[in-house]
Amino acid sequence: MGICYVFGAMGCSSLPEIKSGDFVIAADSGYLNLGTVKPDAVVGDFDSLGFVPEGTRVVRHPARKDDTDMMLSVKLGLAEGFRKFIIYGGLGGRLDHTIANIHVLKYLLEHGARGCLAGESENLILVENGEAAFCADASGAVSVFSYGQTARGVTLEGLSYGLKDAVLTYGCPLGVSNAFTGAASRMSVLDGCLIVIWHGEPGWTDYVDRG
């Protein structure tokens, strides 16, 4: 299948090229960030947007609910059969919303999918018991942290500072402020979960889940 694009409330530096088979969801006020992109569905309670859009599929929820509009949008994408998500406007602004969106990425991993949060200047993915690969044209800063108490067997290749079978913990930000080098690179973890944050275009070339 294609990619499920979800638009959140925060700004993003660019818009995706929608292809046949892709699916676009606007999460409440993310509707305002669509630009020329036409949504397949709009999800939320619409308290932030202030109106209910017309002329498109609307999935309306009450304002008092357990899930965020972003989580509801991702659940819809999963129900539609998608397993790869790029969430535009998922970083920046309110820190609590950013943290909530990181939890959304973990939810995707737990349901056999994966996602990327794309902001105005940086992007974020989670890698759990597997590896993510980036092509040689990736550039700029990249940081890798443990998401969880301990990440074991962490290997970083093709970056300015490499690691081999290392252990990352919450108590030591060892992986901060690394950099791409112009070579193909990968970040892998044998046991645990990593947060990978980088500048540039959202997405990654490959993701391998070892289960």
On whether the CB atoms of residues 43 and 59 are closer than 8 A, the answer is yes
Query: What residues are paired with 196 via a beta bridge?
Result: 125, 144
Could you tell me the sign of the dihedral formed by the alpha carbons of 128, 134, 138, 139, in that order?
positive
Same fold, 4-120 and 127-209: yes
Read off the tokens for 170. Answer: 């919450």
How far is residue 101 from each of residues 10, 52, 86, 198, measured CA to CA in Å?
Answer: 12, 23, 12, 16
Measured distance CA(184)–CA(47) in Å, rounded: 44
Report the pLDDT value the prediction gives residue 211, as an integer from 0 to 100: 44
CATH level 3 topology of 127-209: Rossmann fold (3.40.50)
Pair 26, 39: CB distance under 8 Å = yes
Q: What are phi and psi of 112, to 5 degrees?
A: 70, 20
Instruction: Return d(Cα 65, Cα 167) in angstroms, integer.
Output: 38
- Tokens found for residue 140: 């700029």
Which SS3 state, helix, strand or coil, does residue 204 take?
Answer: coil
pTM score: 0.88
Token digits for 134? Answer: 């980036």
Give domain limits for the chain.
Answer: 4-120, 127-209
Residue 71 CB coordination number (10 Å): 18
**Alpha carbon distance 147, 106 (integer Å):** 10
The list of the chain residues with pLDDT below 50 reads 211
DSSP 82-97: --EEEEET-SSS-HHH
Q: Which residues of 174-191 are buried (b: 16+ CB within 10 A; e: fewer)?
A: bbeebbbeeeebbbbbee
Please name the fold of domain 4-120.
Answer: Rossmann fold (3.40.50)
List the structure tokens of 107.
């939810």
